[in-house]
Amino acid sequence: MIDLRSDTVTRPTAGMREAMAVAEVGDDVYGEDPTANALETEVAALFGHEAALFCPTGTMANQIALQLVVPPGGELLCDADAHVVTYELGAAATYGGISSRTWPAVGAAVDPDVVASMIRPDGYFAVPTRAVAVEQTHNRGGGGVIPLAALRELRRVADDAQVAVHCDGARIWHAHVADGVPLATYGMLFDTLSVCLSKGLGAPAGSLVVGSADKIERARFIRKRMGGGMRQVGILAAAGRYALANQVQRLAEDHAKAARLADAVAPFGVLAAEVRTNLVPLDLTKTPMDAHTFAAAARAEGVLVSVLGPRTARLVTHLGVDDAAINRAIDVLTRALRT
Ligand SMILES: Cc1ncc(COP(=O)(O)O)c(C=O)c1O
């Protein structure tokens, strides 16, 4: 099977498995896992922040970060398609007592003027806005990249209003590779980030919350409360360290493969957005075929694609699909679209 459903389906490479096998470990709840500690130090430095905290999942990293920047009863602003309000099952409200309000999603775009107009000040008449969250790259926004200029303007708006900015940077590595923006340049624009090792980077698990030393000290407490205190977690942290050292720049290959897929399906009028990174969003409204029929036809020929809605589907490239697999997928998918 050629699996184009998600970049979360990757399996550890041989080099990564070797790094995991020989990882030095200790009890991380005691703060004694040298590999986890090293990973946290490395990731904090990459983003120009003081500290970072290893978490089992991107969802937990996002939710810990949101609890850091929004107190119970406070408000988070984000776009209506953001992962934090679409796929995290109400966690911000459930665990953090956080109220969320959204602006209409337009791909990955963020309009700082729209955000500025939504911010509600402190006081007891209305729920006060405490933080704004953005997603880089944007998952439901088709892997789109928020331009640096828009993020800088958003930071200015947030500073003026004294609200925090969180970045769901599950795929921020892709933005870094696509736009050539240094990770530390992104890092400096956000109070907190969550960054993920188990998507395009290919580690089996793990995300980190990144922020100031005092925030990460609190994050450690929240992580334990949420059941995310793990023990000899260096086995997983070693995979993350390996990924950072060896599997970031290769994301450009995934972007090139996604561009090839996009070029192949574009003549059928199904491309939902410009493809910038490793996600290829498909809009099947102008074809006779719905997304389930398309996915079933592809599956029958050995290609797996994601169904995101009745007429929306998605292809994702990652280190588990080589050029030969992309050629085969193009053949299968274009045949399916032709019928
Ligand atoms: C943008 C984004 N943020 C967060 C997550 C959550 O990551 P996890 O599945 O590790 O909880 C995902 C997962 O796909 C994602 O795409």
pLDDT greater than 90 at residue 89: yes
Q: Packing angle between helix 213-225 and helix 58-69, nearest 10 degrees?
A: 120
- Residue 243 corresponds to which tokens in the numbers above? 């990924």
Picking from 30, 27, 37, 140, the residue whose alpha carbon sits closest to that of residue 80 is 140
pLDDT greater than 90 at residue 123: no
Q: Which of 83, 278, 279 for mutating ligand 1's site (highest number of atoms within 8 Å of CB)?
A: 83
pLDDT for the residue 5: 98
pLDDT in tens, 241-272: 999 999 999 999 999 999 999 999 999 999 99
Closest ligand 1 atom, residue 82 Cα: 1
Picking from 1, 4, 8, the residue whose alpha carbon sits closest to that of residue 281 is 4
pLDDT in tens, 177-215: 999 999 999 999 999 999 999 999 999 999 999 999 999
Quote the CA–CA distance of 332 and 264 in Å, as a whole number: 11
pLDDT in tens, 147-163: 999 999 999 999 999 99
pLDDT, average across residues 53-74: 98
Distance of CA 149 to the CA centre of its chain: 20
* SS3 sequence of 201-268: CCCCCCEEEEECHHHHHHHHHHHHHCCCCCCCCHHHHHHHHHHHHHCCCCHHHHHHHHHHHHHHHHHH
pLDDT for the residue 276: 98
- Parallel/antiparallel/unpaired status of strands 279-283 and 312-316: antiparallel
* The amino acid at 318: H
Neighbours of 269 (CB within 10 A): 12
Neighbours of 207 (CB within 10 A): 30
**Apex CA 43: angle with CA 39 and CA 44, to 5°?**
115
Confidence of residue 91 (pLDDT cuts 50, 70, 90): very high
DSSP-based three-state secondary structure for 41: helix
Q: Report the separation in Å between the CA atom of 196 and the middle of ligand 1, taken as the mean of its atom positions.
A: 8
- What are the backbone angles phi and psi of residue 166, rounded to the nearest 5°? -105, 140
Q: Report the separation in Å between the CA atom of 159 and the middle of ligand 1, taken as the mean of its atom positions.
A: 27
- What are the backbone angles phi and psi of residue 314, rounded to the nearest 5°? -150, 140
Quote the CA–CA distance of 280 and 337 in Å, as a whole number: 15
Q: Classify 143 in phi/psi space as left (phi over 0), alpha (psi -120 to 50) or beta.
A: left
Residue with the nearest Cα to atom 9 of ligand 1? 58
Confidence of residue 124 (pLDDT cuts 50, 70, 90): confident
* The amino acid at 198: S
Long-range contacts of 24-27 (CB under 8 A, 24+ apart): 24/234, 25/232, 25/233, 25/234, 25/235, 26/232, 26/234, 27/231, 27/232
Q: Report the separation in Å between the CA atom of 58 and the middle of ligand 1, taken as the mean of its atom positions.
A: 5
Q: Report the separation in Å between the CA atom of 62 and the middle of ligand 1, taken as the mean of its atom positions.
A: 9
pLDDT-above-70 percentage for the chain: 100
pLDDT for the residue 102: 98
Q: How many residues does the chain have?
A: 339
Look up residue 88 and give its DSSP letter. S
pLDDT for the residue 25: 98
Residue with the nearest Cα to atom 3 of ligand 1? 170
- Parallel/antiparallel/unpaired status of strands 164-169 and 303-304: unpaired
pLDDT-above-90 percentage for the chain: 99
- Residue 140 corresponds to which tokens in the numbers above? 């439901």
- Residue 293 corresponds to which tokens in the numbers above? 């029929």
- 319-339 b/e with 16+ CB inside 10 Å = b? bbbeeebbebbbebbeebbee
Closest ligand 1 atom, residue 198 Cα: 10
Kindly report the average pLDDT of the chain as a whole number. Answer: 97
DSSP-based three-state secondary structure for 275: coil
Place of tokens 């997983």: 236
Q: Which of 196, 226, 306 for mutating ligand 1's site (highest number of atoms within 8 Å of CB)?
A: 196
